[in-house]
């Protein structure tokens, strides 16, 4: 059982805004640990999408944004496009900062 809880699925029409939540069920996020987000397109490896809660790596469109408040983090995607259809994962560190924990993943469907 993941200590980072995500909704199994979200959907939206092209052009719309969707958000994906990532809620902690232990203290690792509440302790101020960063949350990172990955996008996994079908049949491919994950790709870093947002790091340290709200930062975009070079090349990631500004339609993607992240936030964190208390024990919850969120990924927002605006101006939804067909190519955004993918699985999205949040990730943080365990309480000892020795390993990683992933959310269960959220499948985004673009209607």
Partner 1 sequence: EVQLVESGGGLVQPGGSLRLSCAASGFTFSSYWMHWVRQAPGKGLVWVSRMNSDGGSTYYADSVKGRFTISRDNAKNTLYLQMNSLRAEDTAVYYCARAVNGRADYWGQGTLVTVSS
Sign of the Cα pseudo-torsion (34, 51, 23, 64, in order)? positive
Cβ at position 51, least distance to partner 1 in Å: 5
Considering only residues 42 through 81, tell me which ones interact with partner 1, judged by CB under 8 A: 44-48, 51-52, 57
The secondary structure element, H or E, covering residue 19 is strand 18-24
Burial of 45 (0-12, 13-18, 19+ CB in 10 A): exposed
How many residues touch partner 1 under the rule CB under 8 A: the total is 28
Cβ neighbour number for residue 6 with a 10 Å cutoff: 23
Nearer to partner 1, 69 or 98 (CB): 98
| Under 8 Å between Cβ of 19 and 76 | yes
Interacting residues with partner 1 between 75 and 94 (CB under 8 A): 87, 89, 91-93
Q: Under the criterion CB under 8 A, does residue 1 sit at the interface with partner 1?
A: no
DSSP category for residue 60 = -
Q: Shortest gap between Cβ of 93 and partner 1 (angstroms)? A: 5
Binding positions for partner 1, rule: CB under 8 A: 2, 33-34, 36, 38, 40, 44-48, 51-52, 57, 87, 89, 91-93, 97-105
């Amino acid at each position: 059982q993941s200590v980072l809880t995500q909704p199994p699925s979200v959907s939206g029409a092209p052009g719309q805004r969707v958000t994906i939540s990532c809620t902690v069920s232990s203290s690792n996020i509440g302790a101020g640990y960063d949350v990172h987000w990955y996008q996994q397109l079908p049949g491919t490896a994950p790709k870093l999408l947002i790091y340290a809660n709200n930062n975009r790596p070079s090349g990631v469109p500004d339609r993607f944004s992240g936030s964190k408040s208390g024990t919850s983090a969120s990924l927002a995607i605006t101006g939804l496009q067909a190519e955004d259809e993918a699985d999205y994962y949040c990730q943080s560190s365990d309480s000892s900062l020795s390993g990683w924990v992933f959310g269960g993943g959220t499948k985004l469907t673009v209607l």
